[in-house]
């Protein structure tokens, strides 16, 4: 079992009748907004992954979903993902 399966799998999600697996992916902390309801406390891009790292994680996630026979419901969030330099290139290659 590879790392992505170890990190996101659990009996609760795999042994149920649901066909979907929900995954919320924070691709950046960077944000130009300061919404009062937000729990974000680091607005920098210091923890952002490279395009190659994002693609690698996506490949592993899609592999795990396929192996489990689940449909993926993936929400890309952050911070503000629309100001991430990697968002659109990532969406194009994924």
- pTM above the 0.85 mark? no
Cα separation values, 82 from 26, 33, 52, Å: 12, 12, 18
Cα separation values, 5 from 2, 25, 34, 61, 66, Å: 6, 15, 34, 8, 11
Q: What is the pLDDT of residues 32-74, one digit of tens each?
A: 988 888 888 888 888 899 999 999 999 999 999 999 899 998 8
| Contact call for residues 22 and 73 (beta carbons, < 8 A) | yes
The answer as to whether 75 is a domain residue is yes
The answer as to whether 27 is a domain residue is yes
The answer as to whether 11 is a domain residue is no
Domains held by the chain: number: 1
Residue that the structure tokens 């907004």 belong to: 33
Range of the domain at 90: 20-49+64-94
pLDDT score at 63 = 94
The answer as to whether 13 is a domain residue is no
pLDDT score at 1 = 46
């Amino acid at each position: 079992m590879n790392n992505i399966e170890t990190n996101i799998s659990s009996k609760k999600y795999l042994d149920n009748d649901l066909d979907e697996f929900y995954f919320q992916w924070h691709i950046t902390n960077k944000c130009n907004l300061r919404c009062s309801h937000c729990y974000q406390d680091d607005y920098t891009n210091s923890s952002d992954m490279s395009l190659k790292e994002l693609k690698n994680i996506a490949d592993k996630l899609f592999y795990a979903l396929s192996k489990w026979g689940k449909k993926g419901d993936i929400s890309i969030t952050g911070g503000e993902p629309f100001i991430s330099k990697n968002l659109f290139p990532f969406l194009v290659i994924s």
